[in-house]
Amino acid sequence: MGLSQRIMVTGGRAPATLDLVRVLSAGGHKVWLAETMGGTITSFSNRLQGSIRLTSPLLDFEAFAGDLERALIIHKIDLLLPTCEEVFWIGRAHQRLSGTCLIFTPPLTKLRQVHSKYEISKLAESAGLISPVTHLISGKDELKSYFDSDQKWVLKPEFSRFGSRVLIKPSFSQAVKEFEYLNRNWVLQQFIRGDEYAVWSVFQKGNMVAFCSYPIVHKAGIGSAIWFTPRDVPGLQEAVRQMGGYSDWTGQLAFDFIVPEGGTPVLIECNPRLTSGIHLFRDQPGLSAAITCESEGLVLPTPGKTMQLTFPMWSHGLPRALARKSLIPWWHDLKSARDILWYPGDFKPFFMQGYCLTRMKLRAVARGVSLLDATTADIEWNGS
């Protein structure tokens, strides 16, 4: 075990952040949480040294940056590690904060390029990867010409999360209706048939130090996986290595790929932050050292590890399995996986998940938005 570092993690509302805190603590580091929201699932972990409340960057960006800067100084933090949508706001404040400690994410300009569903396709092509034909649409009049052909499309906002507002193979009238509903830039992307894979990776100065890929088997809604098992496919690891190396990345990179039958992985989009792939590193001591730059080589998931969010597997996975007449495979997967929130010696987050979910549902009702939208309503970033 290397030297103990003082690490501040931001964004405690996702189970992925909870697992990151546990991984870092098991690696001998002291970890604090900084959040704009109270009562998050991670805040109940006994692996934390403490929690700091931040101003929402949507309400007051300067106050958010000031709150975070003071917290970094007061707690003598060595490493700031963003995990959720707040990564973009931290990227915006990168120059200000980097004088205080190491920031484990690039400045906003670089983050924006990879997160744009249009720009990432161009970057992928430059790096030698395959990506779908992708068009940036700023006005509904541009849509018509693309729908005159037999090509099937996927319509999505240039910046979004959790697969929200994505239309797969829409008609022209459906596309126009959605376009008019949300006044933003949209991306029209060639529909690719194949298996969905997600990737989470960690880079240090363009060198990939951690990697995992997993198929999207069970999910809540259109984009959020709830069951995870590591599985690599030919070409996937090398594609990710090329992307991170080409952009000389330091921080986290998560990707969505489509893998056509017998074909080369096709890069669909990128999230430059923590995702659920970290769950597959449970009991993997090398990950902490990879993040804190204390090891060499590539850290891979724990072999044979299968993890799940058990409650969503019942609430979302079961109805989906019944609709698809795949109850037996669903039951097999449910029995084979360990629960993500249950962790020896740190049980409180497991027992508080109902409380956290109820708070989030009330938040959604109060704001008049969906449950998924409520999870990032105070930190979401849409390209500004």
Strands 48-53 and 30-35 come out as: parallel
Q: Which pLDDT band, with edges at 50, 70 and 90, does 223 fall under?
A: low
Q: With helix as H, strand as E and coil as C, how does the chain read?
A: CCCCCEEEEECCCCHHHHHHHHHHHHCCCEEEEEECCCCCCHHHCCCEEEEEECCCCCCCHHHHHHHHHHHHHHCCCCEEEECCCCHHHHHHCHHHHCCCCEECCCCHHHHHHHHCCCHHHHHHHHCCCECCCEEEECCHHHHHHHCCCCCCEEEEECCCCCCCCCEECCCHHHHHHHHHHCCCCEEEEECCCCEEEEEEEEEECCEEEEEEEEECCCEECCCEECEECCCCCCCHHHHHHHHHHHCCCCEEEEEEEEECCCCCCEEEEEECCCCHHHHHHCCCCHHHHHHCCCCCCCECCCCCCCEECHHHHHHHHHHHHHHCCCHHHHHHHHHHCEECCCCCCCCHHHHCHHHHHHHHHHHHHHHCCCHHHHCCCCCCCCCC
What is the pLDDT of the chain when averaged over all its residues?
92
pLDDT at 67: 98
Look at strands 6-10 and 30-35 and give their pairing. parallel
* Statement: residue 1 has pLDDT above 60: no
pLDDT exceeding 70 applies to what percent of the chain? 98
pLDDT average, residue stretch 43-54: 97
pLDDT of residue 371: 84
- Give the pLDDT score at 294: 80
pLDDT digits (tens, 9 = 90+) for 255-266: 999 999 888 999
d(CA 178, CA 182): 7
Which pLDDT belongs to residue 183? 67
Q: Which of 32-41, 139-148, 207-216, 327-336 is predicted with the least confidence, judged by mean pLDDT? A: 139-148
User: What is the pTM assigned to this prediction?
Assistant: 0.93
Across the range 175-180, mean pLDDT stands at 80
Residue 143 is predicted with a pLDDT of 82
Residue 257 contacts residue 199 (beta carbons within 8 Å): yes
The domains found in the chain, sorted by start residue, are 1-105+347-379 (3.40.50.720), 133-190 (3.30.1490.20), 195-339 (3.30.470.20)
pLDDT for residue 184? 76
Average pLDDT estimate for 68-80: 98
Least confident of 27-41, 182-196, 240-254: 182-196
Q: For 198, phi and psi rounded to 5 degrees? A: -115, 150
Q: What is the CB neighbour count within 10 angstroms for residue 280?
A: 24
Rounded CA-CA distance 288/275 in Å is: 16
Tens of pLDDT, residue by residue over 286-317, are 999 999 988 779 999 988 889 999 999 999 99
User: At residue 156, does pLDDT exceed 80?
Assistant: yes
* Segment 105-133, tens digit of pLDDT: 999 999 999 999 999 999 999 999 999 99
Percent of residues, the chain, with pLDDT higher than 90: 76
